[in-house]
Each structure stands twice: as C-alpha cells, then as structure tokens.
Amino acid sequence: MPVRTRVAVIGAGPAGLLLSHLLDRCGIESVVIDSRTREQIETTIRAGILEQGTVEVLAETGASDRVLTAGQKHEGIELRFGGEGHRIDFTDTVGRAVWLYPQHEVLKDLVAARLAAGQDLRFGVTAERVEDAGTDRPRVLARDAEGYAIEIEADVVVGADGSRSVAREAVTGAYGGYFREYPFAWFGILCEAPPSAGELIYGNSPDGFALISQRSPDVQRMYFQCDPDTDTEAYDEGQLWEMLQARVPGTTLHEGPIFQRDVLRFRSFVAHEMRRGRVVLVGDAAHTVPPTGAKGMNLAVADVVLLTDALRALLLDRDETLFDSFAETARQRIWKAQHFSWWMTSLLHVQPGASDFDRMRQLGELRTVVESRAGSTYLAEAYTGWPLPGTGHH
Ligand SMILES: Cc1cc2nc3c(=O)[nH]c(=O)nc-3n(C[C@H](O)[C@H](O)[C@H](O)COP(=O)(O)OP(=O)(O)OC[C@H]3O[C@@H](n4cnc5c(N)ncnc54)[C@H](O)[C@@H]3O)c2cc1C
C-alpha cells in the first residue's frame, strides 16, 4: 500500500526539514525521507554562516531557539590583502548582520522540532525515482535500509535531495542546467585551538586564498585554496599551518591539533527547470554555488520560504498562481546569489596561470571594494542577504 500524504519531501537537509516545519505551521501534512541516518545528518560539518533573514525565519517560527543563544552574531568580516586587514562593517553599511551557527546544529534543532511535532520523518530511506510528475498524484519510489520498497503518493513531491538529486531527473533530466567549474578547490581543516580572530578573515595573497573561520571557543575551521586533485594526506600538520599562515600575512594564527581534513571542489550550477507539474526542486537540488559567499544553505532557506507560500495557496486555497510563478520568482534571487558567489570567488582567489597584470588588477579591485562605501555596501548587502520575499522576514 502506498503511503499517502499532501507533500512528499525527499531529503532531510536544511531545505527539506525547514519546509516540513513551515508547512506544519500552515496545517499541511508532509512525509520526509532521507537516505542517511539521524546521526550522520546531525554530525556532518558543512555550512556555518547564516544570513540575518535565515536566523529570523528559524527563530520566529520556533524551528530553533538556540540559533540566537548559541550562535555568534558577526557584524562584519575582514578582507586581508597586501599584508593588511580591512574590515567591512555590516552594521555601519547596511544595518544587518550574519550569525555563525553550524549547519549540523541547525539540523539538530530541526530534527528535534519535527520529531516533537510527531512528524513522519524516515531515516535510512532512499528515493530511487519520482514518477507521474505531470499528474496531480506524483509518486516517490523509495527503498528502506532493509531493502523493502516504499511508495509515497502525494499532491506535490519536493526534491530537497541535494546536489546529486534523483528528483531532478523527473524535472529537468539528469544534467539539464547551467554549469561552471573552477580550476581550484578548498583544502579545509578542523582544529582544536582557540579562535584566531573574532570575525571571519578572507585572505588574498600571491600564494592564493585562505578563510579563517570559527566554530566554537575550542574548535576552528580554516580553508586554503588548493588544486582540485589535492590528496587530503598530501601535507603534514606543520606544512598545513605554514600554508595557512602564509596566506594571511600580518596575523598570527592560533595553532592546534588538526582532526579533520577535506577537499571541497567548486561548482556553480542552476537547473534549467525547478518545477515540472507537481514536482519541485529546492536548495542544492536546484542550484549549487561555490562556498566563498556562504550562500548555499541560505539560498535553500529562501527557496523554502517562497515555496511554503506557494503550497499554502495551492493546497489550502486551490490558488495556483504562486505555484506557477514559484520558479521564476526563486530564480531572481538564485542568480543574484550565483553572481555574488562567483564574484567573491574571483575577487579573492588566484587563478592558475594569472599574469602580473591579472594580479595587480585584482588588488585594484580589492582596494575599490574596501575604500569605496558603495563597494563595501554591495558586499555587506549581499553577504548578509537580501530580504526574503513575502513573509515579513527581513
Ligand atoms: C564544506 C561546505 C561548507 C559550506 N559552507 C557554507 C556556508 O558557510 N554557508 C552556506 O550557506 N552554505 C554553505 N555550504 C553549502 C550548504 O551546506 C548547502 O548549500 C546546503 O546543505 C543545502 O541544503 P539542502 O537541504 O538543499 O541539501 P543537503 O544539505 O545536501 O541535503 C540533502 C539531503 O538529501 C538526502 N538525500 C540525497 N539523495 C537522497 C535520496 N535519493 N533519497 C533520500 N535522501 C536523499 C541527503 O542525505 C541529505 O541529507 C557549504 C557546503 C559544504 C560542503
């Protein structure tokens, strides 16, 4: 017997869990499945920076109380180049801020909230494909951890299943999208050390980019630009600290044991379509950005806020207007975020094979941003996030 629900959500990442939370608040029932275990979901280290609008949505809808108590408000970032730091002051330029609150903490809060509300949230269940997108009863064909088939029939199926989405095939074909690859990646480390700075440092140096960020009083997250094929074991700890330190000259990093390393490849992707019939894509399933502008999780939240309004109108008021315009409206923000993520990446990284001209031009661009109020204001406005549509969450 198929499971029947109003909205079937594939993926218990930030997009899928927040969507089911917001739908519940409107009285719309959903079933959420995820191929991973609860423990895997709650311990995978990914994003860390939340836009002001994301924090407001989480706090005001009861999805997370801890974001305001355990999260750290950051009112600026430092751009460091030519051996000097230049602070971009978000409060002064745009009166907004971001919060440092790791994605897995957001997920812990959302999972706890969904389970407390009696949500049908199934871990270890993998969607294999989505069928009947063109009808008003689309279906998810899935399999649980023991290999038993599960069929979920819904009014709407939402693919919130990340960058390797299976739902995408039902909407746009496996690779139907705008795509860009970058000739570099980030080598990321987690270390046990006190913070090296109060706010994030984005460093540009002749050796390449580095990001000095924080996780907690005892654990720090740092990245430096590397070749996409770099092996995570290619360097010993001393070499890693030397490379990080060389990319943020003028600062003194607080070193400590490195307990996790990863290489994060860069891609920009936007699916050609976000909806086909009653199947919709949100979050990384619909788009991915390079991590430099910290937009990925925030963009997933923005999609979901917009889709909640569209589904409320469709399923409760039988008004299809917002559902029909959802993709077009979402794309406006998505392309602004794509541009910002690409721009921050180009501004700060050293392109392989860059000439002396390219290097001097890049320093000129960095100076333009930090010395011009208009330039700093653009960065601050985009980094802290444009207002979310139609919700009053600004
Ligand atoms: C190292 C790193 C650092 C990042 N830093 C930032 C940052 O600072 N700020 C920011 O905003 N973004 C950042 N991002 C991006 C951010 O993490 C993603 O954009 C965000 O997770 C997208 O959320 P999502 O819910 O769309 O997808 P995901 O978080 O990928 O969730 C998708 C879920 O779907 C599940 N799933 C997949 N396939 C199936 C299937 N077939 N059946 C069932 N379940 C399935 C997966 O298990 C997963 O739980 C970072 C990403 C990485 C990797």
The residue from 202, 235, 287, 393 that is catalytic is: 202
| Residue 60 phi, psi dihedral angles, 5° rounding | -75, -25
- Tens of pLDDT, residues 103-133: 999 999 999 999 999 999 999 999 999 999 9
Tokens of 260: 């996790």
- Tens of pLDDT, residues 150-207: 999 999 999 999 999 999 999 997 668 999 999 999 999 999 999 999 999 999 999 9
- Which residues contact ligand 1 via a Cβ below 6 A? 10-16, 33-36, 41, 46-49, 103, 126-127, 160-162, 166, 264, 283-284, 291, 294-298, 300
Q: How many angstroms separate the alpha carbon of residue 47 from the centre of ligand 1?
A: 8
pTM greater than 0.75 (yes/no)? yes
The residue whose CA has the least distance to atom 9 of ligand 1 is: 294
The residue from 21, 74, 287, 349 that is catalytic is: 74
Domain architecture of the chain: domains with CATH: 3-74+99-179+267-352 (3.50.50.60)
Can 148 be counted among the known catalytic residues?
no
CA distance 309 to 25: 11
Q: How many angstroms separate the alpha carbon of residue 253 from the centre of ligand 1?
A: 29
Instruction: Name the average pLDDT for the chain.
Output: 96
The pLDDT-based confidence of 47 (bands split at 50, 70, 90) is confident
